[in-house]
Amino acid sequence: MDEGYIKFKCNWIKEKSVKKSDIVELNFWRSKFFNLGLIGMYSNGVGFGNISIKHKDTFIISGSATGGLKELDEQNYSLVTGYDFKNNTLNCSGEVKASSESLSHAAVYEINAKIRAVIHIHNLELWQELLYKIPTTSKSIAYGTPEMAADIKRLFKETNVNNQKILCMAGHEEGILSFGKTLKEAAEVLLQFYNKKTS
């Protein structure tokens, strides 16, 4: 399974970069999605799903290999301090490396400055239901790559994803990404679709 592995060059500074006060809202919503099984860990030990929020001129994101943890603390989040799509690099600091999906989050933040939160979940049934019914990235593009970041930007130019606030990743089975001006807005978009599917 091609999941959970960082595909960009990660320039990581291991130091305390995230405060407990920075992650209160992140943890509130992350726990909700973990309890629903939309963020978690597969039976093979590979984690899935991640969550981020804008922080000053950059963003804080759940760390790599944290999907299986029921509760996260500041040590499980990473501060993204820079990135370069062209050279497939990402700079981060914290006590854990940034999520393998960090470039996808970066693309969303870069294309619309009003977006302040991004949530990425996995759910096979919901993914199959929404595939090509909502804005969807190309099936030939893998997660966590500069190509995925570019394709997400394409969706903002060619579809109404900016209004729908949700997209499917065709080349990343189960992968669904939502965003909003707040974490609550991004979460409610996902939950609306999820609750409709499970009701």
> For 112-167, what is each residue's pLDDT tens digit?
999 999 999 999 999 999 999 999 999 999 989 999 999 999 999 999 999 999 99
Let me know if residue 46 belongs to a domain.
yes
Q: Is the dihedral of CA 126, 130, 134, 138 positive or negative?
A: positive
Is 14:63 a contact under the CB 8 Å cutoff? no
SS3 label, residue 57: coil
What are the beta bridge partners of residue 41? 47
**Domain extent for 19:** 9-198
CATH of the domain at 17: 3.40.225.10
Question: Residue 1 pLDDT more than 50?
Answer: no
Let me know if residue 75 belongs to a domain.
yes
Total domains, the chain: 1
Is 105:61 a contact under the CB 8 Å cutoff? yes
Let me know if residue 150 belongs to a domain.
yes
Let me know if residue 3 belongs to a domain.
no
Q: Which of 38, 98, 30 is nearest to 64 (CA)?
A: 98
Question: Residue 4 pLDDT more than 60?
Answer: no
What are the beta bridge partners of residue 58? 55
Confidence grade of residue 199 (pLDDT, cut at 50, 70, 90)? confident
Q: Which of 131, 132, 105, 104 is nearest to 118 (CA)?
A: 105
Question: Residue 3 pLDDT more than 70?
Answer: no
How far CA 35 is from CA of 15, 22, 99, 136, in Å, comes to 29, 21, 20, 26
Average the pLDDT over 181-197 and give the result.
Answer: 96
Question: Can you give the pTM of this predicted structure?
Answer: 0.96
Let me know if residue 76 belongs to a domain.
yes
Q: What is the pLDDT of residue 6?
A: 84
Confidence grade of residue 198 (pLDDT, cut at 50, 70, 90)? confident
Let me know if residue 105 belongs to a domain.
yes
Let me know if residue 101 belongs to a domain.
yes
Percent with pLDDT over 90 in the chain: 91
Is 132:47 a contact under the CB 8 Å cutoff? no
Question: Residue 71 pLDDT more than 70?
Answer: yes
SS3 label, residue 158: helix
Q: What is the pLDDT of residue 118?
A: 98
Let me know if residue 65 belongs to a domain.
yes
SS3 label, residue 168: strand
